[in-house]
Amino acid sequence: MTRSRNHVVVIGASAGGVHALIDLAERLPAAFPVPVCIVQHIGSNPSLLPELLRYRGPNRAMHAEDGQRLEPGTLHIAPPDRHLLLDGDRLRLTIGPKENHARPAIDPLFRSAAASAGPGVIGVILTGQMDDGAAGLRAVKDCGGIAVVQDPATAAEPEMPRSALQNTDVDHCVPLAQIAPLLARLVGSHEPRPRGPVPEQVLREVAINRGEATVEDLLTIAAPSSLTCPDCGGTMWEMKDPKPLRYRCHTGHAFSALSLARSQKEVSEQALWSSVRALREREMLLRRVASVSASLGDTAQAAAARSHAERVKQQSDALQQFAESVPPGIDADATA
């Protein structure tokens, strides 16, 4: 297979992604002629993904290093707790704010690849929950690249591929087993068309990911909302591009509407259960006061404390019942 200097493949995966990536790596031809960059949601946990992909596939696989040059036939994998970005033909690692509660996150990789390589990017979304990667794949398409999505019916978790399909005019939606052969055909036969201008929103969001942006950059691509960031408490700004609906704070945290809704649910649940705990502790204290008062012969104080404790118990029982009835989070279909 001849080398295609103009292409780079970027792949995003979440839940179920390790098995999917192993399957894809096994099917890629040896000496794959272009670099492959991968984000698998792992948070800050140690990862043996490079070793697994090296062992099971014919190409090199390694954790990306800051400043490393892209190498054909190499799977460059985002290391734990670092965003992976493309900067021309080099890799950049940052510990910037999380996107969709993830670091590494898929959107920053896809967005920076789109800005760096434009029509030469092939973006691939695999199995996963939530909708990280939907905005990044949209950026790939907006910059002239190719969008590939695993058929949700073949995904261990179909939510992420389904969201990508709902928000982007995808070029190829195929079962997992067909993705590697498809990539081989695309890089061997498809010559990227000339680059056009990179959309301003993509450029400014890449600057945010690199830590180079100002509040003025956010002003040009988003409008302030009445929502607050669940991570830092700052004002959330609604991105002007409505598909997919997304939010950013001036600190740099970014959320799709789906991930923000789920974060809000977690915050509200935590607040409710903290209130239940506080009321339970108050009830315990009042019953202790009643017990001590009774032992000292102060029957009036003991009765008053017991009565107050019963009222507090009723409040905590009612609040616990409410907390237990909080509805489940929304799914990707509800925010499409």
Residue 151 bears catalytic tag: no
Distance CA 278, CA 292 (A): 21
Residue 132 bears catalytic tag: yes
Report the side by side order of strands in the sheet with 121-125.
60-63, 74-77, 36-40, 8-13, 121-125, 146-150, 172-174
- Please choose, from the candidates 254, 247, 251, the residue with its C-alpha nearest in 3D space to the C-alpha of residue 211: 251
- Please choose, from the candidates 75, 85, 65, the residue with its C-alpha nearest in 3D space to the C-alpha of residue 34: 75
Three-state secondary-structure class, residue 206: helix
From 4, 7, 14, 293, the catalytic residue = 14
Residue 169 bears catalytic tag: no
From 41, 76, 83, 250, the catalytic residue = 41
Distance CA 316, CA 160 (A): 38
Q: Please give the C-alpha separations between residue 278 and each of 73, 75, 321, in angstroms, as whole numbers.
A: 57, 51, 15
From 132, 142, 151, 241, the catalytic residue = 132
Please name every residue paired with 84 in a beta bridge, in sequence order, or none if there are none: 93
Contact yes or no for 268/276 (Cβ under 8 A):
no
Residues belonging to the active site: 14, 41, 132
